[in-house]
Amino acid sequence: MIVGHALALLSGPPHAFEANGCAAPEPAPSWVAKFAPTTSDCSMDSTVPGPQWLPTAVLRIPVVVHVVADNACVNGNVSDALVHSQMAVLNEDFRALAGTPGAGGVDSKIEFFLATVDPSGNPTTGIQRYCNTTWYQDSGSYWLSSAWDPARYVNIYTHSAGGSRGYVPFLPADPSAAVGQPQDRMVINWLAVGRVGPFPPYHTGRTVTHEMGHYLGLFHTYYAGCGTASAPACYTTGDRICDTPPNATSHKGCTAGITSCGGVPVPIQNYMELTDDTCMTGFTAEQVQRMRCTLATYRPDLAQ
Ligand SMILES: [Zn+2]
């Protein structure tokens, strides 16, 4: 748990913030193999990056950001400016915009915008604010009284995130996933929101880019270990993607030249690793295809 923001600013990130990294759950491979559906091109156990999933049409996704502060409205009180900067980072990264840090990736042709109309049809800024210490501490089923229809909006909550940098509760292809239910959400540590945030090396908004990858069906590049390097087995092992190199475990920092899985370069630049924000530059082509398949298959009402 993160406490004492002012103190933390003087002494650097609390240990848990760095140590916990991304807390999205890793389903056990044996469980995945037992229950995973095999009928989609982006199931839990395989990816089929068919041409229908290539990024052609631009897909635009509405987002509501729930800013949850403590009772005093101090810790967790992320500014509108930081939220807006976070949306800019998301679009730079998902569109691989030239001249931005995300230019090195593949253009997914997926865009995000703060909702302009709420579920009742009223105008909105797309930012909701709460001062509730219980919620701020990531306790209680706060989503039951706050979520906007998760079938039509990405619900991002910023609070203490239980001390992690962020998480999504499940991947949408998970057969146990409550896709479209109130708990279907993204959680981001408020100290990792936007550009420029207070805690390098997680200060340029890449935590949200990473969690959005999970929200759209991507595994960590190191999921299930090295997997198999060559096709077609690389579509059913490791992260179920062939154009991400085999990767045994998560990495921090931004050390060039490190290798994994028998001398293969670690994809330190991939958003689905856990390296420093400034190290990350893109998604791969097949990660983009898997995300577009996930949108069509598991989140069909989300994109406009
Ligand atoms: Zn993650």
304 residues of the chain, pLDDT tens digit each: 333 333 333 334 444 555 568 887 776 655 454 444 557 999 999 999 999 999 999 999 999 999 999 999 999 999 999 999 999 999 999 999 999 999 999 999 999 999 999 999 999 999 999 999 999 999 999 999 999 999 999 999 999 999 999 999 999 999 888 999 999 999 999 999 999 999 999 999 999 999 999 999 999 999 999 999 899 999 999 999 999 999 999 999 999 999 999 999 999 999 999 999 999 999 999 999 999 999 999 999 999 8
Structure confidence at residue 21 (pLDDT): 80
273 labelled catalytic:
no
Token pair belonging to 136: 């701020």
Give the pLDDT score at 86.
98
Q: How large is the angle between the packed helices 206-215 and 80-95, nearest 10 degrees?
A: 60
* DSSP at 286: H
Distant-in-sequence, close-in-space partners of 247: CB < 8 Å, separation ≥ 6: 221, 222, 226, 238, 239, 260, 261, 264, 266, 267, 273
Cα–Cα distance, 86 to 206 (Å, whole number): 9
Contact 95, 81 (CB under 8 A): no
> Residue 168: its pLDDT value, please?
97
pLDDT the model gives residue 25:
77
- Distance between CA atoms of residues 273 and 280, nearest Å: 8
Q: CA 254, CA 281: separation in Å to the nearest integer?
A: 12
- How far, in Å, from the CA of 241 to the mean position of ligand 1? 16
- The alpha carbon of 250 and the centre of ligand 1 are apart by a number of angstroms equal to 10
Name the CATH topology of 13-24+51-223+253-298: Collagenase (Catalytic Domain) (3.40.390)
Catalytic residue among 18, 111, 211, 286: 211
Instruction: Specify the pLDDT at position 13.
Output: 42
Q: Residue 133: which residues within 8 A CB-CB, separation 6 or more?
A: 70, 71
Phi, psi dihedrals of residue 71, rounded to the nearest 5°: -55, -30
- Expressed in angstroms and rounded, the spacing between residue 66 Cα and the centre of ligand 1 is 20
Per-residue pLDDT at 27: 66
Distance from residue 18's CA to the centre of ligand 1 (Å): 13
Asked if residues 238 and 247 have their Cβ atoms less than 8 Å apart, the reply is yes
Q: What is the pLDDT of residue 22?
A: 85
DSSP 266: P
State how far the Cα of 274 lies from the Cα of 278, in Å rounded to an integer.
11
How far is the centre of ligand 1, averaged over its atoms, from the C-alpha of 56 (Å)?
26
Which class for 264: exposed (0-12), middle (13-18), buried (19 or more C-beta within 10 A)? middle
Burial class of 113 by CB neighbour count within 10 A (0 to 12, 13 to 18, 19+): middle
List, for residues 124-135, the tens digit of each pLDDT value: 999 999 999 999
Question: Rounded to the nearest whole angstrom, what is the distance from the C-alpha of residue 273 to the centroid of ligand 1?
Answer: 7
Q: How far apart are CA 16 and CA 162, in angstroms?
A: 9
- What is the CA(23)–ligand 1 centre distance, in A? 6
ω before 201 within 30° of 0 (cis)? Answer: yes
Q: Where are the domains of the chain?
A: 13-24+51-223+253-298
